[in-house]
Amino acid sequence: MKCLQLLHSHNEHAIGTPFLTPNPAHVLGIDAVRFLAALMVMLFHFGFWAGFMHGSHAELAGQGLIIYPALSAWTKYGWIGVQIFFVISGFVIAYSAEKASAYRFFVSRSVRLFPAALLCATITLGALLLVGSVPKGELASAYIKSITFWPAGPWIDDSYWTLAIEIAFYGLVFLLLAINRFTWIARLAIVIGLMSFAFNIVLWLGQDVVAIQQLKEKRLFELLLLHHGSFFALGVFLWLQLLKQPSRSQLMWIGIFVAACCMQILAVVASLNHKQVGLVAPVPLIIWLLALAVIIMSVRFNALFATLPVWIALALRRVGLMTYPLYLIHQKTGLVGMGQMIKHGISPYLALGLGIGAVLAASWAISAHLEPYLQKWTKSFLLALPGKTLLRTAGT
């Protein structure tokens, strides 16, 4: 398993080409989990949040017409997809950074994040201009914040809130590479994982204390990885255990960080239930643990995917590539489209089906036909920049 060549959802092989070829070393199971997590988040926004959170940006985008009470009992748990994303990110970033120089890592992350964000933010901007639910000045500011990954919102779409958190983790890994200390990745994971564990214990125990609950609203604590650091830490230790040298101590840390992640999920449940969401705590825990089990099994038994028909392997690879644009584009753009359909007489549930189909089609078009060329240009531009040689030496 040490030689397993795990490729991220936008790896260098895929950059600059709209075509895919099957790669038996790629972990297709992670592509499937990532895509299902994005679907859960989309259904959460469409089937629950837009109709529940009055006055929210989601409700305004859908013009108050996106209400599905018959679906809310199960779509209200879809937020757990974000916690699944963070585990996968910790796993994949640890792998992709191991043999990279600091600058190569910076380039790969920039190519991964920027093109899709620019494309999706531009499409969302057009959709919001169509309905005029947000003043143009505010839209311009939100658009610029989105494409520059500004750490504090409002953004053009609320889904962008996670990007700065991802970048905070990337930044720590980048620093390790810049000082030639990537071997400290386990120590880094322990620090951010334990800090996050302690923070979420405080939030959960103090769920009835107003002053403590106000802490969770501070964006700074998210950017310091106090909310979600345990998920990244778990991903790193899964990489160490599954793809590097297994050890009992690593298993111990995996157990600790699984517990830490469960504590964060319980803290979210408590927070949402203060808004009268009515969540049953075991449900998101079970969903997340099942996703974790699938991630582990996908890596351990990845060779079985090599026996799949080529068309299935390519389909799984494609949905993996679709996940990032789907996550960014679904909420505001999808809700605007669904709201317009309902406004013009289409039944709400037909509008829901058409809206889901439309954002899936848009995500496919972006990942297959638009994003690869912008990725290629971004990569060429960054590699041609002067003054990068100092950062390219680390890890080579």
Mean pLDDT for 115-122 is: 97
Q: Which of 36-40, 65-69, 175-179, 180-184 has the lowest mean pLDDT?
A: 65-69
pLDDT band at 391 (very low <50, low <70, confident <90, very high): very low
DSSP 9-74: TT-TTTTT-S-----TTS-HHHHHHHHHHHHHHHHHIIIIIHHHSTTSHHHHHTTT----TTTHHH
Mean pLDDT for 138-164 is: 94
What does the block give as tokens for 243?
């793809």
- Cβ pair 128, 61 in contact under 8 A: yes
What does the block give as tokens for 383?
């590699």
Mean pLDDT for 106-117 is: 95
* Residue-level pLDDT at 25: 57
Q: What is the mean pLDDT of the chain?
A: 88
Mean pLDDT for 373-394 is: 75
Mean pLDDT for 34-43 is: 96
pTM to 2 decimals?
A: 0.90
Distances in Å between the alpha carbon of 248 and those of 224, 229, 238, 241, 245? 29, 22, 12, 9, 10
pLDDT band at 47 (very low <50, low <70, confident <90, very high): very high
- Cβ pair 116, 109 in contact under 8 A: no
- Residue 22 pLDDT > 70: no
* Residue-level pLDDT at 186: 97
* Residue-level pLDDT at 5: 37
- Cβ pair 130, 336 in contact under 8 A: yes
- Residue 6 pLDDT > 60: no
Mean pLDDT for 309-332 is: 93
Q: Which of 148-157, 214-223, 332-341 has the lowest mean pLDDT?
A: 214-223
Burial string for 302-315 (b: 16+ CB within 10 Å, else e) reads beebeeeeeeebbb
pLDDT in tens, 233-284: 999 999 999 999 999 999 999 999 999 999 999 999 998 998 899 999 999 9
Mean pLDDT for 173-197 is: 97
- Residue 392 pLDDT > 60: no
* Residue-level pLDDT at 27: 84
Mean pLDDT for 188-202 is: 96
pLDDT band at 20 (very low <50, low <70, confident <90, very high): very low
Mean pLDDT for 144-162 is: 94
pLDDT in tens, 50-78: 888 777 777 777 787 899 999 999 999 99
- Residue 321 pLDDT > 90: yes
pLDDT in tens, 339-370: 999 999 999 999 999 999 999 999 999 999 99
What does the block give as tokens for 267?
């803290």
pLDDT band at 388 (very low <50, low <70, confident <90, very high): low
Mean pLDDT for 168-178 is: 97
Proportion of the chain above pLDDT 70, given as a percent: 91
